[in-house]
Structure 1
Amino acid sequence: MLNRYPLWKYIMLIFTLILGILYALPNLYGEDLAIQITGTHGATVGTSTLLYTQQILTKNNIISKSISLIKGTILARFSSQEIQLRAHDALLSALGDNYVVALHLAPATPSWLTMIGAEPMKLGLDLRGGVHFLMEVDMNTVFSKLQEQTMDILLRELHDQKIPYTSVHKSHNYGSNISFSNASIRDEALSSLMLSHRDMTITRSGNNGISAHLSENHLHDARKYAVQQNIIILRNRVNQLGVSEPLVQRQGSNRIVVELPGIQDTARAKEIIGATAMLEFRLVNNTVHHCTEAGNSVPENYEVKFTRYGQPVVLYKRVIITGNHITNATFSTDEYNRPQVNISLDNTGGIIMSKFTKDNIGKLMATLFVEYKDSGKKDAKDNVILVKQEEVINVATIQSRISNMFRITGINSTKEARHLSLLLRAGALIAPIKIVEECTIGPTLGMQNITQGLVACLWGLIASILFMVIWYRKFGLIATITIIANLIMIISIMSLLPGITLTMPGIAGIVLTLAVAVDANVLIYERIKEELRKGSSIPHAIHQGYQSTFSSIVDANMTTLITALILYEFGTSSIKGFAITTAIGIATSMFTAILGTRAIVNLLYGGKLIDKLSI
């Protein structure tokens, strides 16, 4: 019989609608101002930590809406921002360095919804507020370090082969020039180095010299590695901030995008994300100390660095280990209540340090702190110029063999020690990064964007409904029901799928989808009217209206879907947000227009004698 649906189709549609409503509901409950507490580097968050947190809040007369322990994370909710900030300061001071105490915006979704995995949509920066950084990796520093490492390797190999050289200096394009006393020694060195360094271009230079340059492939790999490692380290630093749903991804060949939605302490975020702190451990040479006092030049294998108080320290250029081998760094105080940083090394770093200190007991070892800071100036290409600042923060006598654990003293203040330990825990950047673009969006502006987006959706929905009801009457009301169901399904799918973030362009995609969602209904209804004008019976007209327009509706929506997929593949983050919501909207509008309206029409008119349609 025409225009009849079996019972299972109605059950399927009702079940789909109920699921859609359930998974769209969390978006109505909003968010609470909260504090999130997590452990770092072995520190566990359990019931005892929860009880201690409650004691701290009670002691400071801070009232929380709720405090809970979920999957190793404590979440305390507060009624106002003032109370939240007071709680943050109190907890940060009491819990110490082994815990991350982060300002947070927590969904206020009821527990009965979270039990079935229903969560609100993830909102982008433009809706939730937060901070956006576009960072550029300083490749000049990357290649300069690589150049120095290459020179060190070449000279060490010549030393092992007992091939003497007279001088070495850097050349253009990150190369090295090594000079020898005569041509025969030069040729011997050339043969030896060419045999063991096939990834380098090594040629004769001048009368008695050789020139060594890294291949383009090697430089390309170094660039790629530097960006990838910096991304990993930046993600570690973001985790120290306790930000939920952060975005850290590569853009272009040497740029990194960092987006931290919902973050409130933007100054702290910039300080942690943008800081380029590195440690180098080097041996001190006291035998040439008089050179610095007399203003004489320092031998080639040494260089002079200074302490905070301007005292010169002569260091070997060769670095024992760098901060790359640090696995953990915690803040504490020594027996005289002076700040210190406790360092733990990985296996490789521990072996290197153990061997070195065993062979150099009684000598001085310095800790050199290296930081790159914004100079406030820009080059001809409008790029920020970074200034390298180096400071000897500690000089200590090697009294015994050191392995994987030791401590750094001589730090000026408790705050400085905390900051240094956090940066070292998160990891030292492979190369300096400079912030080339920064955008901060406050929560107020985010709420304003949400309000404007909702108003746009509402007016788009009202315009579509008015048109359909006025033009198609009762059938217009049927289309209206399916448009509302379509909106519910779009929201539920975006809430349900991981990795999807709603932005302002995404809202534009929803508005557009709702506006054009009636297209399929218009095609169907106009075909029904056309059949009626031909004199067809009402059941036959309804049947033909849906059947004959099906292929046209699918073709039209498939072309739009293909366009959305292309926009997602090649577009920027904003364009991708628009493409995602458009693609989801196309799928749901086809489902509701073809199956949803047909189900209602069949229920109202199927198997009945109808003289006239309200269309």
Structure 2
Amino acid sequence: MLYIETWKRVLVWMVCAAGLVFAAPNLFYGRVELHNDAVKAIEARGSTPGLEADAALWPNWLPSDLVNLGLDLRGGAHLLAEVQVQEVYAAKMEALWPEVRDTLRDERDTVGTIRRQPAQDGTLRVKISKPENMAQALASVRKLAQPITTLTGVGSNDIVVSAQGDEIVITLSDAEKIASDDRTVRQALEIIRRRIDEAGTREPTIQRQGADRILIQVPGVGSAAELKDIIGTTAQLTFNAVINRTSDENASAGVGNKLIPSMDEPGTFYIVDAVPVVTGEDLVDAQPAFDQNGRPAVNFRFNPHGARRFGDYTAEHIGSPFAIVLDDEVISAPVIQSHIPGGSGIITGNFTVEGSTDLAVLLRAGALPAELTFLEERSIGPELGQDSIDAGKIASAVAFAAVLIFMFLTYGLFGVFANIALIINIGLMFGLLSVIGATLTLPGIAGIVLTVGMAVDANVLIFERIREELKTAKGPARAIQLGYEKALSAILDANITTFITAVILYVMGSGPVRGFAITLGLGILTSVFTAIYVTRVMIVTWFDRRRPKTIEV
């Protein structure tokens, strides 16, 4: 019997209505985008008359999710960066030196005096005055080695310790270099992602390419230079002990120290201990603020580990200066007046309000573990993106119109039902893309155009099956029911295999390929729903009202 329960009909129409409501903001894209930006700005910085006006452009009680436009549609910046992983080797040796020094000092009666020697980056050389006890010295230093926990480095240690004359030579093992390279690129990838997210950009593409390269594509950014400003600053914050202050830029810092210029005092240089007391990696939070004189500053807070080290150092060095170093420039060198427990403090300097805000953003995002070298950079203007949007609109409109005309001419009234379902299908697809925050690219538009053709394929199978059933002299109600039942297996087979292909494209692909896969996969889901349920509800509702003796498909 050709019958659908009332609750099922209501549920189908509710799903359609919900999809169209969530898709509606895309019809007013510019207005809704201004509303969303204003709401975020009000939450972050407080309300202003201009922001309130922009926020009022769209009702708060309506959905405001939009389909994000990709780089090829919106315009933006494209960068290909190479991570200089070798820099990390030198940093690891610098961090290892205090442990080696303390270990050998405990063996002073055996190894004699110790002195660090100049060495190339990634190598640590220590000279001992009693080389006849070199074997014992090597054994003590080798106890500092840590096993590598990666699958490729199982059974290996992170350092190699050897002797050359009266010097102990410490280098990173090959397995540790491989593991370090991987960690460095992963860390850089995550920090770049956090920095771009902090800047409020929409749907960036940040992917690893090869062993040490990162692809960065950010829609809506004005130029590649602007994007480089967001991610290129290292924001390496350290707190270092001050050895001396000088005006001689050629002054010798000595082994284990370094000469750093002052940011606030031109011509002034500080000799500081190369090994920091605390680093920016121990920062938990950083927020723009004002000091006691009303000047812009940055409040910071350490994690428990950093707070303990910072507190211990300030307690032991009251009356001594220490340097706050940002990207190899001393931004402040205050004298420790008292013990600073709790792990929180303030960074002062010649900041503007905007400068203190930017510094807080960079510190929260973290320090890049190594320098980035930009191998490729491109800026895609919004006018090129608009050309792509216009071309996509024309292609979609032509395909849509051709399918509507074909279905009407071929199936008459039943074709009209299929056309209505097709329009609802497009609305549902954009509603889903908006809800999940997907990015629409030019290949994604191609996926929508393909879905338009595929969406009526299921209806073609159903209608042709109804035609076949009508030839067997069965009544129209029975023919419609059998048409849907017998076409179901073919519809599911075709769409499931295509959906599997879309999933593989998404998993294995990247960038534009994923955009195509997302729209194709969602289009399959919405087209199956509209073809099987929406058209059936419309046909059954029409049949219940008209009760025709015969039908023509």
Residue 527 of structure 2 aligns to which amino acid in structure 1? S
Instruction: Give me the whole-angstrom Cα distance separating, in 2, the residues matched to 1:421 and 1:544.
Output: 67
Q: Who is 2:150 aligned against?
A: none
1:568 is displaced (CA, Å) by 0.8
* C-alpha contact (below 8 Å) 2:286/2:300 kept by paired residues: yes
Q: Who is 1:15 aligned against?
A: 14
* C-alpha contact (below 8 Å) 1:329/1:344 kept by paired residues: no
- Which of 550, 561, 567 is residue 505 of structure 2 equivalent to? 567
Q: Who is 1:381 aligned against?
A: none
Partner secondary structure for residue 30 of structure 1? helix
1:194 paired to 2:152: no
Moved more, 475-484 or 392-401: 392-401
* C-alpha contact (below 8 Å) 1:5/1:602 kept by paired residues: yes
Change (3 A) 1:218 1:113: same
1:110 paired to 2:59: yes
Residue 145 of structure 2 aligns to which amino acid in structure 1? H
Change (3 A) 1:237 1:146: same
By percentage of residues, which structure has more strand? 1
Q: Who is 1:488 aligned against?
A: 427
* C-alpha contact (below 8 Å) 2:462/2:483 kept by paired residues: yes
Tell me the alpha carbon deviations over residues 545-578 of structure 1, each in whole angstroms, 9 at most, x when there is no partner: 3333321221111111110010011110211111
Change (3 A) 1:555 1:167: same
Q: Who is 1:375 aligned against?
A: none
Residue 503 of structure 2 aligns to which amino acid in structure 1? L
Residue 174 of structure 1 aligns to which amino acid in structure 2? G
Q: Who is 1:281 aligned against?
A: 239
Instruction: Give me the whole-angstrom Cα distance separating, in 2, the residues matched to 1:270 and 1:554.
Output: 48
* C-alpha contact (below 8 Å) 1:36/1:242 kept by paired residues: no
Aligned counterparts, 1:17-56, within 5 A: 17-32=16-31, 33=34, 36=38, 49-50=46-47, 53-54=48-49
Aligned counterparts, 1:31-430, within 5 A: 31-32=30-31, 33=34, 36=38, 49-50=46-47, 53-54=48-49, 64=50, 67=52, 76-77=53-54, 108-114=57-63, 119-162=65-108, 163-164=111-112, 168=116, 174-181=122-129, 184-199=132-147, 200=157, 201-216=159-174, 218-238=176-196, 240-243=198-201, 253-262=211-220, 269-286=227-244, 299-307=254-262, 309-326=266-283, 327-328=285-286, 330=288, 332=290, 344-370=301-327, 390-403=328-341, 404=343, 411=350, 419-420=358-359, 422-430=361-369
Change (3 A) 1:363 1:588: closer
- Which of 415, 425, 431 is residue 476 of structure 1 equivalent to? 415
Instruction: Give me the whole-angstrom Cα distance separating, in 2, the residues matched to 1:408 and 1:121.
Output: 40
Instruction: Give me the whole-angstrom Cα distance separating, in 1, the residues matched to 2:382 and 2:417.
Output: 39
1:509 is displaced (CA, Å) by 0.9
1:133 is displaced (CA, Å) by 4.3
Partner secondary structure for residue 238 of structure 2? strand
Tell me the alpha carbon deviations over residues 83-118 of structure 1, each in whole angstroms, 9 at most, x when there is no partner: xxxxxxxxxxxxxxxxxxxxxxx795434423xxx6
Q: Who is 1:588 aligned against?
A: 526
Partner secondary structure for residue 505 of structure 2? helix
Change (3 A) 1:285 1:17: closer
Instruction: Give me the whole-angstrom Cα distance separating, in 1, the residues matched to 2:323 and 2:30.
Output: 49
Change (3 A) 1:468 1:107: farther
Partner secondary structure for residue 113 of structure 1? coil
1:274 is displaced (CA, Å) by 1.9
Instruction: Give me the whole-angstrom Cα distance separating, in 1, the residues matched to 2:488 and 2:272.
Output: 79
1:463 paired to 2:402: yes
Q: Who is 1:450 aligned against?
A: 389
- Which of 427, 449, 458 is residue 511 of structure 1 equivalent to? 449
Change (3 A) 1:364 1:109: closer
Q: Who is 2:488 aligned against?
A: 550
Instruction: Give me the whole-angstrom Cα distance separating, in 2, the residues matched to 1:204 and 1:462.
Output: 77
1:466 is displaced (CA, Å) by 1.7
1:259 is displaced (CA, Å) by 4.9
Tell me the alpha carbon deviations over residues 253-292 of structure 1, each in whole angstroms, 9 at most, x when there is no partner: 54445554445698655423221132333333349x79x6
1:579 is displaced (CA, Å) by 0.8
Partner secondary structure for residue 591 of structure 1? helix
Q: Who is 1:98 aligned against?
A: none
* C-alpha contact (below 8 Å) 2:444/2:519 kept by paired residues: yes
Change (3 A) 1:317 1:446: same
Instruction: Give me the whole-angstrom Cα distance separating, in 2, the residues matched to 1:359 and 1:165.
Output: 26
Residue 89 of structure 2 aligns to which amino acid in structure 1? F
Change (3 A) 1:536 1:423: closer
Partner secondary structure for residue 367 of structure 2? coil
Between the two proteins, the alignment pairs up a number of residues equal to: 533
Change (3 A) 1:123 1:303: closer
Partner secondary structure for residue 478 of structure 1? helix
1:464 is displaced (CA, Å) by 0.9
1:587 is displaced (CA, Å) by 1.7
Q: Normalising by the residue count of structure 1, what TM-score does the alignment of the two structures yield? A: 0.73
* C-alpha contact (below 8 Å) 1:109/1:119 kept by paired residues: no
Partner secondary structure for residue 285 of structure 1? strand
1:406 is displaced (CA, Å) by 5.2
Instruction: Give me the whole-angstrom Cα distance separating, in 1, the residues matched to 2:287 and 2:457.
Output: 61
* C-alpha contact (below 8 Å) 1:303/1:316 kept by paired residues: yes
Change (3 A) 1:453 1:176: same
* C-alpha contact (below 8 Å) 1:276/1:433 kept by paired residues: no
1:222 is displaced (CA, Å) by 3.6
Contiguous gaps of at least 5 residues in structure 1: 55-63, 68-75, 78-105, 371-389
Q: Who is 1:86 aligned against?
A: none
Identity of aligned residues (%): 34
Partner secondary structure for residue 299 of structure 1? coil
* C-alpha contact (below 8 Å) 2:297/2:351 kept by paired residues: no
Residue 489 of structure 1 aligns to which amino acid in structure 2? L
* C-alpha contact (below 8 Å) 1:132/1:259 kept by paired residues: yes
Instruction: Give me the whole-angstrom Cα distance separating, in 2, the residues matched to 1:419 and 1:5.
Output: 60
Instruction: Give me the whole-angstrom Cα distance separating, in 1, the residues matched to 2:24 and 2:360.
Output: 43
Instruction: Give me the whole-angstrom Cα distance separating, in 1, the residues matched to 2:7 and 2:345.
Output: 70
